[in-house]
Chains A and B, each alone.
Chain A
Amino acid sequence: MTKKTRPVDRRHVLRLIGAIAVYGATALQFLGGFAKRASGSVAAKASAAGSFPTASYDWTKHRWGFGVDATRCIGCLSCVTACKTENGVSMDPHHFRTWVERYVYLEGEERPRVDSQADAGDIAASSGSVDAYRFDDRDDRNVEKAFFVPKLCNHCANPPCVQVCPVGATFRTADGVVLIDQDYCIGCRYCVQACPYGSRSFNEALGVADKCTWCYHRITKGLKPACVEACPVGARIFGDLDDPQSDISQFIRVNRVNVLKPEMGTHPSVYYVGINRDVR
C-alpha cells in the first residue's frame, strides 16, 4: 500500500504557528515562575525595605552565630523552659527546639551513658517530672566523669533539611538562620528525616514541621534568643559573626571550637567548646 501524502497548505502552517505561539507563551510564563523561585528572587524581594516585619532590620548586614560552652552548663534546664515558653513549644517530652544531654562515665565503664531530661527512665525515676535529671540505672557505682551538652538546631550553611523540602517552605535567610514558613509547609516530614541532629520535630496540632529559629522574632529586634537570655552560667553565646567584637566572634577567637558531625558536610553555625568524641 502506498502512503497518502498530505498537502501542506498555508492554513495548516498558520494554525501551527498560532498554536506554538499560544502554548509557548504559557510554557514560558510557567518556566519564568519556576526560575524566579529557583533563583531566590522571591526571597530577595522579601528583604526589601519596608517589607520586613521589623522595618529597621536589614538581613544583609548580619551573619548570626551561636556558641555552646559545655564546660559551663549545669543542666538546670532554664534554657529549655525559656524556649518552650517563648515559642509555644509543646510541653511534653517529645517536642524540643533545644534540649540538654547528659554524658555520664561510670567507674570501670568505657562508654558514656547518655540521656536527657526527656528520657523515659529519668521521667519515671523522678515521678513523672521532665524538669530534672535523675539516675535510673546507676546502681551504686561512682561517677568518674560527667558533663552536660546543650543541643539545638545548628543552622547549617549547607542544610540537608532545606535541600529536601519539596516546596521550599524551609529556607536559609541572608543572615544565616534556617527558618520554616509554616503557612507554606505541607507537613511531609522529609526535613525531620533529613536533619542528622534530630533538631526538627513535627507539630501535630498545626500539621507542620517545627524547629529552633534562634528566636528570629527577638534577634531582628536586637534582643538575644530566649535560651541565651535565660542561661544563668553563660553557657550559651550568641552574636554577629561579622562583628569582630561580638560575644560569638570572641568566643570563637579565644577557644578551640568544634562542630557536631562535621563529616556530614553540613557546616554548622553552632560552635562547641568542652565536648569530646562521644558527643554527636
Chain B
Amino acid sequence: MVTALFQVPLFQASPFVGYVYPNETIIPWSELIVIYPYLTGLVAGAFIVSSFYHVFGMQQFKPVARFALLTALAFMICVPAPLLLHLGHPERAFEAMITPHWSSAFAAFSYVASFYVVVLMLETWFAFRADFVASAGHNRGLRKLFYRILALDSDDVSERALGYDRRWARALAMIGIPAATLLHGYVGFVFGSLKSRQWWSSDLMPVIFLLSAVVSGIGLLIVLYIATSRIRRTPADETCLRALAQALWSFLIVVVVVEGLEYLTMFYRSEEGIQMIEALIRGPIRAGLTIQAAGSAIALILLTWLIVFRERGKTLVRGLAVAAVVVLIEVFAMRWNVVIGGQELSKTMRGLLVYAPPVLGRDGLVAAAGLLTVPFLLLWLFVRLFPPWEPAHRDAHVPRG
C-alpha cells in the first residue's frame, strides 16, 4: 500500500548492450552528482557578475550586484547537500576534513568550499552592513535584535565606516574570484582526472566546466532579475539587462568554441574506442546532446539578434528571458551528459548502459527536484531579510508603513 509505494529497492541495475563489467551494472553516481556541479556552477557565475561591479566597478551591473551576491550565497549553502545525500555514510563526511587524504580531489573540496563560503559570507556582510544598521533602526522587538546582532551592535554609518565596508567588500571579492574559479575548476578536475573513463578523461574538462558554470550563473541571474522585477512591479534596468546579455553572449561563444574543440580533437584523433563514443552519442545521451547543442545555438542566435539590433523594452526583456532559460536547461543537459553519460559508456569500451533515474529514494528524482528548489526558497528568505535592491527602487515602489 502506501508504505509499499515508498519502499525503495536497495539498488537499481541498469540495462546494457554489448559487454560491461558485471559491477558496472549499478551506476555509482546518480543525478545527485549531476546537481552538485550544476549548483556550484550557478554559484560561480552569479559571483562573477557581482564581481563585475564590486571589483571592476562596472556600473551597469550595479542593480544586480548585491542580489547576485545573495544568489551565490543561497546556492553555495546548498552545494554540499546533494553530496551528503549521496554518501553511504554522511555522518562520516567530516572525516574528509579532519583526516584528509591529500591525493584525492575530494579531500580538497571541503577546504576550498569552506574557504569560499567564508569569503562569500564576509563579503555579503560588508556589502549589507549599512542595511543591517538601518533595519535595526526601524524595526522593533525580535527583528530589531536580529539585525542588531547581525550589525554586531554597531550603528556606525559614517562616511569613513562605509568606505571601510566598500574596501573590504572589494578585497574579499578579489579573493573570491580565484576561490570561485578554483572551486569550479576543481569540479571539472574530479571528472577530467580519472583515466578509467574515456568520456571524462580530458585536460579540457576543468575549463569547460568553469566556462559553462559562468554561463549558467549569468543565465540564472538574468532569469531571477527579470522575474523579481516583475514581482516587485519595477521595470528592470535596461542598461543592466544589456550588459548581462553581452556578458552571456561572450561567455557562451567561448564555451561553444571550447566544447567544439573538445569534440573535434576527440574525433580527429580517433583513438581506440572511438566507435563506442560514437555509439554513446547516438544512443544513451542522444537527447541530452541534442538539447545541449540546440540550446547553445538558440541562445546564441537570440542573443546576437538582441545585441546587433539593439533591442529595447519588452523585446529585450522577453528575448533575454528566453535565452537565459534555454541556457539554464542547456547547461543542465551538459552536466547530465558528462556525469551520467560518462558512466553509461562501459570501462570495457565494449558496451553501453542506459541509466533511468529512480523516482523515489535518496537518489530519486523527487529528492533531486527538492534539492534544486531549496536554494530558491533560501534566496527568497535572504531577499526578504536583506533587500538587495537599490534604495531608489525600493522607496519609489514599495512604500514603507
Contact = CB atoms under 8 A, between A and B. Distances in A.
Is chain B found bound to chain A in the same assembly? yes
Interface of A: 33-34, 37-38, 93-96, 99, 101, 113-116, 118-120, 151, 160, 162-168, 184-190, 192-202, 204-208, 264-265, 280
Given A201-B26, A202-B26, A186 B93 contact: yes
B99 A194 contact: no
B348 interface: yes
Nearest to A37: B99
B28 A202 contact: yes
Complex A-B, nearest 10 residue pairs according to Cβ-Cβ distance, in ascending order: A187-B88, A198-B21, A207-B88, A166-B106, A168-B101, A118-B22, A114-B19, A189-B28, A196-B196, A201-B23
A198 B347 contact: yes
B11 A167 contact: no
A187 B107 CA distance: 14
A115 B24 CA distance: 13
14 contacts: A33-B98, A94-B23, A95-B22, A99-B22, A114-B348, A167-B96, A167-B99, A185-B88, A186-B92, A187-B87, A193-B197, A198-B24, A207-B89, A208-B89
Q: Is the interface of B mostly helix, strand, loop or mixed?
A: loop
B17 to A, nearest CB: 10
Given A192-B28, A205-B10, A186 B96 contact: yes
B347 A196 contact: yes
Interface of B: 10-11, 13, 15-16, 18-26, 28-29, 83, 86-90, 92-93, 95-96, 98-107, 109, 190, 194-197, 343, 346-350
A96 B13 CA distance: 14
A202 B10 CA distance: 11
Contacts of A195: 196, 347
Contact of B87 (A120, A160, A163, A186): A186
Contacts of B95: 167, 184, 186
A139 B18 CA distance: 17
B29 to A, nearest CB: 6
Nearest to B26: A94
B84 to A, nearest CB: 10
B88 A202 contact: yes
A34 B96 CA distance: 11
Contacts of A116: 19, 22
A118 B348 CA distance: 15
Contacts of A34: 99-100, 102
Contacts of B99: 33-34, 37, 167-168
B87 A164 contact: no
A167 B89 CA distance: 12
Contact of B348 (A93, A199, A280): A280
Contact of A167 (B83, B86, B107): B107
A264 B197 CA distance: 11
Nearest to B20: A198
Residue among B20, B88, B105, B348 with max Cβ neighbours from chain A (10 Å):
B88
Contacts of A168: 99, 101
A192 B342 CA distance: 13
A38 to B, nearest CB: 6
Contact of A264 (B11, B98, B195): B195
B115 to A, nearest CB: 15
